[in-house]
């Protein structure tokens, strides 16, 4: 049976994303995972920087990328730089999700959480709404995410709309996002 996150956990993750945006001064789209990782002090290393013999081990660990915390407490994100930028950025944000959500082991629940974290962080529905983006193609252009990620973001945005969200119903954290991303503020 597939694991489903509780509504409360979705809300917690959204708040964590917004706190991350505030803490690291993220205020423009497209949202850049490399920038956030740098501001967090996370070392981001492309697979190509690793010796060819060891690189095969990285790809065996993950085709896209993974994060690891060394004994000195330093976090590292390794990523496959043979992928396109949009996929790499999603991978970086996914791994940042593991770090900020304090995941200590791989699990179906952890993956569900970080997939939502990355989706919400890379294309928040309140920004999709504010920018009046009405299809996945426009989301791809503004947020520089893959078409597949844009389809998921658009589907989530439509679900967000169906649940009665709109300008008069924004949550405090959605207002915070709008304030952060408003060039006039």
User: How does the average pLDDT of the chain come out, rounded?
Assistant: 93
Residue 124's pLDDT is what? 97
Band (pLDDT 50/70/90 cuts) for residue 54 is: very high
The answer for residues whose C-beta is within 8 angstroms of residue 13's C-beta and 6 or more apart is 5, 101, 113, 116, 117, 120
Q: How far apart are CA 60 and CA 64, in angstroms?
A: 10
Question: Domain ranges in the chain?
Answer: 7-179
pLDDT in tens, 101-120: 999 888 999 999 999 999 99
- pTM given for the model: 0.92
Per-residue pLDDT, averaged over 111-136, amounts to 96
């Amino acid at each position: 049976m597939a694991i489903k996150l509780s509504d409360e956990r979705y809300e917690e993750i959204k708040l964590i994303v917004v706190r991350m945006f505030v803490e690291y001064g993220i205020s423009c789209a497209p949202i850049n995972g490399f920038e956030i990782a740098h501001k967090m002090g996370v070392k981001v290393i492309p697979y190509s920087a690793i010796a060819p013999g060891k690189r095969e081990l990285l790809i065996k660990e993950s085709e896209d990328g993974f994060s690891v915390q060394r004994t000195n407490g330093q976090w590292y994100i390794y990523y496959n730089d043979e992928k396109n930028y949009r996929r790499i950025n999603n991978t970086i944000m996914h791994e940042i999700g593991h770090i900020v959500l304090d995941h200590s082991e791989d699990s179906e629940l952890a993956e569900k959480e970080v997939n939502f974290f990355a989706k919400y962080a890379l294309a928040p529905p309140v920004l999709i709404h504010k920018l009046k983006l009405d299809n996945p193609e426009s989301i791809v252009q503004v947020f520089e995410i893959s078409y597949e990620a844009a389809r998921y973001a658009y589907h989530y945005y439509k679900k967000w709309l169906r649940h009665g969200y709109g300008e008069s119903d924004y949550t405090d954290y959605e207002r915070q996002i709008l304030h952060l991303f408003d060039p006039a503020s």
